[in-house]
Amino acid sequence: MELESLTIDGTRAAVASGEITANELANLHYERIDARDGEINSFLALSRERALGQAAKIDAMAAKGDALPALGGVPVGIKDVLVMQGAPATAGSLILKGYRPPYDATAVGRLEAAGAVLLGKLNCDEFAMGSSNENSAYGPVLNPRALDRVPGGSSGGSAAAVAANLAVATLGTDTGGSIRQPAAFCGVVGVLPTYGRVSRYGLIAFASSLDRVGPFTKNVKDAATVLQVLAGHDVMDATSSDRPVDDYVGGLEKPVEGLRIGVPAEYFGEGLDLEIRGAIEGVLAGLKTVGCVIKPVNLPHTKYAIPTYYVIATAEASSNLSRFDGVRFGLRDAEAKTLSEMFRRTRDAGFGAEVKRRILLGTYALSAGYYDAYYKKAQQVRTLLTRDFLTAFAEVDVLVAPVTPTPAFKLGEKTDDPVKMYLEDIYSVAASLAGVCGISVPCGETKDGLPIGVQVIGRHFDEATMLRVAQAVETGQLR
């Protein structure tokens, strides 16, 4: 079986018909991981026993002629900031080396309940802090489309695994662009759900008011299928919304004619790569051809999004990461003579440079005398950014914009300049701060063969319209 063309529908159909068993399919993916992932470094741990046990259950259903669930037999990988019972959960950090959680994240449990075969845990920037997946304590992930390039971050392993056909779908997380940006860099589909649409229970937190869980897939329909499984209220997550979940897959069949497409002027300014601009303009022209109304809009506070994000996200990280101290789980310095020395030595040895940088920034922003000037002010600007989106969505149904200012950059190109690295998120952090939904869809390649992604941004809890437009974009690319 050709893994390159394998989709969720194709997997279910093949397993249900007996063309291939879920067990055989899982082993085919493990063989490919063994053969290919040595150069890509997308997987940190494999869960063969659990995966093959699940595959046996799916095969038993197929043998009896039972209808398979939505993800029956589909090989899936999990970003290593989401916990899986018994599997390592390092969050890409040395400080959690050896930690094996006793429970599943809600998103993980829902995938498996829907029939997914969980292959293992995927590499990522340490504690999801990064835009290139070069911050992992376990080595960088390479972009399968160009091995001298980054796959994007922080969910680089999740994007690379799908792009290299090591999994049919994967889970990632997005705090300021960590699903959409690697999806664009690797040429796959990546979804940022509305904040509260997918449970965060079992997610090792970076910034709790920003973190979101979403899928990577090979096409938009697969993304809609996985999101359908993940979405919905969870009593274990107080931020989880109880709003009804739309029929994402069924909604893809609705026409896009008449939809109003907003084009934010602030996303097409200085610094945008000309080939990316051309590809996005091509998408807009295609949407106009099928009957969409293209309308310029403004998001006037966009210029404040990066500094606002890096105050709020680092402040929340400073608070969340204080729990990693060597006392309860993970790394512990064995040579310390006192408790306070053990804290210091463990955290110094366990945290990488980028995590330390963000903890220091966040601690400063929250400190006495600076809270009002930084964190409080950033939250006020966040409100203005959210209002920008609400104002725009009063006039249009979705926004279409670039995902990134440049194609995938070379490994090591920006590691010595944190500000330049942070600016890679310039088109993604505003939607994160506003809590709206977004998706990255492949829309072409540069002259060097590097993938280009287009971003479709939707209203709060209107993933259905966002996915419908994304499907139109994808279909246009296939004509």
Q: One of 42, 47, 155, 178 is an active-site residue; which one?
A: 178
Alpha-carbon Rg of the chain, whole angstroms?
21
**Both structure tokens of 32:** 């490919």
Mean pLDDT to the nearest integer, 177-199: 98
Q: Taking each helix axis from N to C terminus, what angle separates 8-17 and 22-40, rounded to the nearest 10 degrees?
A: 140
**Among 424, 429, 438, residue whose Cα is nearest residue 151:** 424
Token pair of 440, please?
């990255």
pLDDT of residue 439: 98
Given a contact cutoff of 8 angstroms between Cβ atoms, the answer to whether 407 and 273 are in contact is yes
Listed range (95-104, 178-187, 332-341, 378-387) with the worst mean pLDDT: 332-341
- Stretch 341-354: mean pLDDT: 94
Residues 327, 437: Cα–Cα separation, whole Å: 38
More confident: 59 or 422: 59
C-alpha torsion angle, residues 265, 269, 274, 279 (rounded to 10): -20
Token couple for 126: 């340490």
pLDDT at 201: 98
What is the pLDDT of the chain when averaged over all its residues? 96
Q: How far apart are CA 324 and CA 346, in angstroms?
A: 9
Catalogue the E-assigned strands of 343-435. Answer: 398-402
What is the rounded average pLDDT of the residues 6-10?
96
pLDDT for position 417: 86
What average pLDDT does the segment 355-378 reach? 94
* Averaged pLDDT, 318-327: 93
When mean pLDDT is compared across 101-110, 318-327, 453-462, the lowest value belongs to: 318-327
132 carries an active-site annotation: no
Measure the CA–CA gap between 237 and 336, rounded to whole angstroms.
Answer: 37
The confidence score (pLDDT) of residue 477 equals: 63
Annotated active-site residue 155? The verdict is no
Between 66-70, 346-350, 368-372, 388-392, the lowest mean confidence (pLDDT) is in 368-372
Q: Give the C-alpha separation, 242 to 236, whole Å.
A: 12
C-alpha to C-alpha distance for 241 and 463, rounded to whole angstroms: 14
Sequence-ordered list of residues with C-beta below 8 angstroms from that of 400, at least 6 positions apart, any chain: 261, 262, 263, 280, 283, 284, 287, 454, 455, 456, 457, 469
Contact 355, 93 (CB under 8 A): yes
- Whether 421 has a pLDDT exceeding 60, the answer reads yes
pLDDT band at residue 216, thresholds of 50, 70 and 90?
very high
pLDDT in tens, 122-179: 999 999 999 999 999 999 999 999 999 999 999 999 999 999 999 999 999 999 999 9
Q: Give the containing element (helix H, strand E) for 410.
A: none
What pLDDT is attached to residue 478?
Answer: 44
Where are the domains positioned within the chain?
3-174+196-250
**Cα–Cα distance between 448 and 431 in angstroms, integer?**
29
Q: Report d(CA 299, CA 391) in Å as an integer.
A: 9
Residue 479 confidence (pLDDT) above 70 = no
| 3-class DSSP state of 402 | strand
What angle in degrees, to the nearest 10, is found between the helix axes of 220-230 and 8-17? Answer: 80
Which strands sit side by side in the sheet containing 212-217, from one edge to the other? Answer: 43-46, 117-122, 75-79, 169-174, 212-217, 189-192, 437-445, 451-458, 398-402, 260-264, 293-297
From the candidates 93, 132, 154, 241, which is the catalytic residue? 154
**Cα(first)–Cα(last) distance of the chain, in Å?**
25
Residues 264-305 have pLDDT tens digits of: 999 999 899 999 999 999 999 999 999 999 999 999 999 999
Phi then psi for 246, rounded to 5 degrees?
-70, 165
Selecting among 42, 47, 79, 132, the annotated active-site residue is 79
| CA dist., res. 84 & res. 168, Å (int) | 19
Identify whether the C-beta of residue 455 lies closer than 8 Å to the C-beta of residue 339.
no
Residue 392 has pLDDT above 60, yes or no: yes
Residue 337: active-site member: no
- pLDDT at 336 > cutoff 70: yes
Out of 3.20.20.330, 3.90.1720.10, 3.90.1300.10, 3.30.70.20, the CATH code matching 3-174+196-250 is 3.90.1300.10
Rounded to whole angstroms, how far apart are CA atoms 430 and 466?
17
Averaged pLDDT for residues 28-33: 98
Residue whose C-alpha is closest to residue 28's, from 3, 10, 51: 3
Best CA proximity match to 375, nearest among 212, 240, 200, 207: 207
Q: What is the pLDDT of residues 254-263, one digit of tens each?
A: 999 999 999 9
pTM: 0.97
